[in-house]
Structures are given as structure tokens and as C-alpha cells.
A = this chain, B = another copy of it.
């Protein structure tokens, strides 16, 4: 007797992935390809169908409960519509759930990619068993999703938890979004790279520029140098930890989660920053919020697929 399972799709602007996932978030089969974003929605739907055919062929006879899709926001999860994802040019109000449901003849649920990752970590990863978590990805930008009182926080048009764009400071350059002082503009991996680049010069003999081969310094170089004990890199990471601590304190006060779960590229350096983050939270958070743990995500790049599957496996 084949066990029931969900199909899952993680639709990114550059990468398209699909999986068959069983209860508990166990991956049974997986496939991926580059997203042909320039081909438009019709072409990408064909890619999704082909990937799912591939995945299904590897779980013959399985009872498929439905399909869950994580896709770039803004996205209306109730209507199942991709509103206007900046990473998918030319997509505007695409009724993704309906199109895929018609093509595949199965129930389809969609969720924005950040919420899907939050769901994955909540159901199967670092947030398992909790009622409320904030999931934060810190990489090129800062994004996230919130599980509050046992369900994902949607708000109007599913647009809640745009946490990278809360204003926290007057400092830093203009944000990608057009405003200034956004959490993302001062605390993302990109911001860390800019700070490191501004703090050094080509040929200055610094470890950071050596690792960057005298080009612009990235967050990755900062983390690598810090692991070697480079004091300049450690100071930059201390400042990064302070910014993260300020943003996380806001998230504690605003959402009161039982844990802050940190994913994204920079979460690989969480061990180097956790003391600094904890110190900032202890300094700034009100007493009742200070003992909430900040923990690394458990599923890495699989969180989005796992969460997409959970839309079908653990709905509600």
C-alpha cells in the first residue's frame, strides 16, 4: 500500500524545484532546473508540469494528495494569484493555483516563498512543536514569515511579515525598496559586504581584500576571515550582530514568538554572532521577551519545498 504524499514546487526567479514529500516532511524524490522566467507564465507552467512528471515517475503508485507551491511574492495565498513578483518579469495577476489545478487535476495551494519556508521550519524544522515563530532569512536581502498562534500570518493579500522593510534607523544608504533605514538596508548580507568594502581598500593588505582578490568584499569573505580570527572581520560581524539584535528585538515585541528561526546564507555564521545578538536583545528587549531563543534554521534550502508540501500534508 503506497503511502499518501504531497507534490511540492519551489518556484524561484532563477531556480525551479519540485519534490514528492511524505508525512513528517520526508523527501522521496526531487528534481530541478533553471527557471525559464523570460518564457513567461505559460512556459514556466510547462516546466513545472514536466518536473512533476519526472518526480511522480519515481514514486509509482503513490497516492498524491495534492500540490503545494511556494512562489515569489507579492502573492495572494487565498486566491492563489501571483500578483507581480519582481523576480518573474511580466507576471501580473497570474492565477497560478487555478492554472496548475486545471492542468494537473488535483488540489493546488500556493503560498509566498518566505511563508512557505516559515511553514517548513515550523512543521518539520527548527520551529517544530511551537505555536508561534518568526522565521527570518538573512542573505542578499532580509525576508521572513510569521507563524502566530498556530497558523501562518497572512494579513491583507497575504502581505504580512515584510520584515526586511521595517525602518529601524537613520543610518545606511537607500534601500532597494526606495525608503531609508530599512532592517534589510543595514543588516542583510549585502549590507555586511558593503560595510566591509567601505572599511577596506584594494591592496591595503587586509585579510578581507586578500580573500576578495582585491575586488569588492562580500559577506562570505567576512565570515571566512572571521573564522580565521581576523580582527577587522570580527568587528564587522559584531556590528552585524548588533543590527540583527535590534531588528530581532522589534520582532519579539511585535509578534511575541516562542523562537526566532534564522535561515539564509548568513545564518551559517550565526554561531559567530549569537553572543552579540543575545547581548543586544538583553539590552533592548522588555524583560518578558528576553528569554526567547534565536536558533538556526534546520532545513536549509529545503525549507521552502517542505513548507509547500505542508500546505497539502498539514493544512489548516
Contacts and interface: CB of A to CB of B under 8 A. Distances in A.
Interface string A154-172: 1111111111011111110
Interface in A284-308: 284-286, 288-289, 292
A276 B163 CA distance: 24
Interface centre among A151, A181, A256 (most CB of B within 10 A): A256
B160 A255 contact: yes
Interface in A249-268: 249-250, 253-258
A283 interface: yes
A220 to B, nearest CB: 28
A31 interface: no
Contacts of A288: 74, 83, 157, 159
Nearest to A164: B253
Interface string A210-231: 0000000000000000000000
A177 interface: yes
A179 interface: yes
Interface in A170-200: 170-171, 177-179, 181
B153 A153 contact: yes
A282 to B, nearest CB: 11
Q: How large is the interface on A (under 10, 10 to 19, 20 to 34, 35 or more residues)?
A: 35 or more
A289 B153 CA distance: 16
Nearest to A177: B286
Contact of A292 (B74, B156, B158): B156
Given A74-B288, A169-B169, A286-B162, A155 B257 contact: yes
Contacts of A256: 154-162
A163 B286 contact: no
A132 interface: yes
A132 B155 contact: yes
Given A284-B179, A288-B74, A165 B257 contact: no
A206 to B, nearest CB: 28
B159 A148 contact: no
Interface string A118-147: 000000000000011000000000000000
Contacts of A171: 170
Contacts of A179: 249, 283-285
The 9 closest A-B pairs by CB, nearest first: A155-B256, A159-B256, A160-B256, A162-B253, A179-B284, A166-B250, A156-B256, A165-B253, A156-B258
28 contacts: A132-B154, A132-B156, A132-B160, A148-B148, A148-B155, A149-B151, A149-B153, A149-B154, A153-B255, A154-B256, A155-B255, A157-B288, A159-B256, A159-B288, A160-B254, A162-B253, A162-B254, A162-B286, A163-B254, A167-B168, A167-B250, A168-B181, A170-B170, A170-B171, A177-B286, A179-B284, A179-B285, A254-B255
Interface of A: 74, 83, 131-132, 148-149, 151, 153-163, 165-171, 177-179, 181, 246, 249-250, 253-258, 283-286, 288-289, 292
